Structure 1
Amino acid sequence: MKLMRIKEMEDYILANDTVSLDTLCQVFNVSKNTVRRDINRLAEKGVIKKVYGGVTAIEKPALIPFENRTIQNKDTKTKIAHYASHFIEDDDLIFIDSGTTTQSILDTINPNKQVTIITNSLDIINTAAALEHINLVVIGSTYKRKTQSFVGMDDPSTLDKYNINKAFMAATGVSLTHGLTNCDLLEYEIKKKISEKANEVYLLADHSKFGKSTLLTYAPFSRLDCIVTSKPLDQDYENYCHEHNIDIHLV
């Protein structure tokens, strides 16, 4: 358990570059003394260094830069996004998640559709701003350049007033055990709130995301209504989706 926590803490620090001790206590639900012991182990290992009030990564961050992630499986991700756009209907109020798989979802949408879009993705904001029939609501208080998204909510209850029909979500890892996961605490807060609020949750994920999990689960697998992916899923996923009425669409 301790070794697993230290490994997860290492991954979290590498993904976020610099993290405060208070944040590590909150994320891992441990005391500050425990955090200090764990980061001493990581400092001895040479992957992080201690700074005032926290720690910073000295290895290359585990999170691949956004521009490089965009290149990986680019054609597949674009096809998934274009396919998913057909689920958007007139008068929908939808959320579009930040991520390299969701960023192209508006490229093929009928420009005359009357849709309200809530998003924290800079790519989606830029695309939606050019479509005159789309109402655009931007959330997130801080711009994160690494993921080209706005993260954090000064008042998370702000999302409670929106009746979101459909949420088109991305994930760093997807598994039956750990559900839909990511490794950024501020992104997690938005993803979790949206997944709880939306009437229908659509997961847009290429085949490489399945069978993997990262630090934070923002929604259980059972929360899904639809999966759009690139290759047939393993039989255990197929069985689970059939039993829980989760639609699978292959692109």
Structure 2
Amino acid sequence: MKLMRIQEMEEYILKHGATSLDELCEVFNVSKNTVRRDINKLAEKGVIKKVYGGVTSAEKSVLVPFENRTIQHQDEKIKIARYASRFIEDHDLVFIDSGTTTKSMLETLDPDKNVTVLTNSLDIINAASSMKNIDLIIIGNNYKRKTRSFVGIDDPSTLNKYNINKAFMSATGTTITHGLTNSDLLEYEVKKKISEKANEVYLLADHSKFGKSTLLTYAPFDRLHSIVTSQQLDEEYTKYCQEHQIDIHLA
């Protein structure tokens, strides 16, 4: 599948830092013309840079392991997650996304609130399992260690049966033009379906995520109800949010 190949090619380039066109042809068993078309797609997204005879990863798009991403901007992410928990109300059915920014959301949730939590995040599952007033629904067929998340749904339409009040989403990068983006095809399928289904979509993202985009857009920027972030956004984002009634909350 072309989209899967491009995603795998992106991960390969970001993992190795640099590679030749010939190496990509050999690894992915495709022609040089096919490789050129694929890397053109990645170059348009700003994921890689083309150099003579090959490609290099763009510095801003280096694929960082989950453990290291947890450390990056850690204090900001914890504050964002804890701030966002105030939007969960009694008897809500909420989706909490996987990711290093959303993982702390349940730490400060009022334990007396009766809430149904739908999630594919191992960290959220572990936290919710010890909270007696939370009904926990787990989605995803396969565990992905790199992101500590469950991915893949045999029939994405099964998510239609859930009346999701609020979805608390993470993103690898976000721009007004490309919306909310990530790089994993299986995670993308879950994120896209949830973002379409939820009544309100909240983006939890520290300041480093804005102005960047990756391979897959799972929701347009104007789908957002609110943004919870760590620093004042650039004027471009502030103006757009005002025009589209998107609330901005600084944790």
TM-score class, shorter-chain normalisation, is 0.7 to 0.9
Gaps of 5+ in 1: 1-5, 18-31, 48-60
* 2:189 is aligned with 1:189: yes
Contact 2:7 2:184 in 1 (8 A): no
Question: Do structure 1's residue 127 and structure 2's residue 124 form an aligned pair?
Answer: no
Mapped partners of 1:105, 1:223: distance in 2: 21
For 2:44, the equivalent position in structure 1 comes to none
User: How far apart, in 1, do the equivalents of 2:177 and 2:111 lie?
Assistant: 39
Residue aligned with 2:63, SS: coil
SS of match in other structure, 2:99:
coil
Q: Does 1:37 align with 2:42?
A: no
Q: RMSD between aligned alpha carbons?
A: 2.6
**Partner Cα separation in structure 2 for residue 149 and residue 157 of structure 1:** 20
- Structure 2 residue ranges without an equivalent (≥5): 17-28, 40-52
**Which SS does the other structure have where 2:105 is aligned?**
coil
Taking a change above 3 Å as real, the CA distance of residues 41 and 235 of structure 1, as seen in their structure-2 partners, is closer
Q: Which residue of structure 1 aligns with residue 67 of structure 2?
A: 67
Q: Which residue of 1 aligns with 2:156?
A: 156
- Aligned equivalents of 1:35 and 1:116: distance in 2? 50
Deviations 1:201-250 (A, max 9, x none): 00000000000000000000000000000111111111110000000001
The answer on 1:237 being equivalent to 2:237 is yes
The amino acid that maps onto 1:76 is: E
In 1, the alpha carbon distance for the partners of 2:124 and 2:242 equals 32
CA distance in 1 between counterparts of 2:224 and 2:115 reads 22
What corresponds to 1:54 in structure 2? none
Compute the TM-score of the two structures, normalised by the length of structure 2: 0.80
Contact 2:111 2:131 in 1 (8 A): yes
- Corresponding residue number in structure 2 for 1:87: 87
Q: Which residue of 1 aligns with 2:21?
A: none
* Whole-Å separation in 1 of the counterparts to 2:123 and 2:36: 36
How far, CA to CA, are the matches of 1:140 and 1:87 in structure 2?
25
* Aligned residue number for residue 141 of structure 1: 141
1:78 aligns with 78
1:11: Cα distance to partner?
2.1
Q: Identify if the C-alpha distance between structure 1 residues 224 and 45 changes in structure 2 by more than 3 Å, giving closer, same or farther.
A: same
Deviation of residue 45 (structure 1)?
Answer: 3.6
Task: Judge conservation of contact 1:11–1:62 (CA < 8 Å) in 2.
Answer: no
2:227 corresponds in structure 1 to 227
Size of the alignment, in residue pairs? 218
- Deviation of 1:10 after TM superposition, in Å, equals 3.9
Name the amino acid aligned to 1:37: T
CA distance in 1 between partners of 2:220 and 2:37 (Å) = 33
CA contact (8 A) 2:121 2:148 kept: yes
- Sequence identity percentage: 64
Residues 8/115 of structure 1: CA separation in 2 closer, same or farther (3 Å cut): closer
Contact conserved, 1:15 with 1:184, CA < 8 A, in 2?
Answer: no
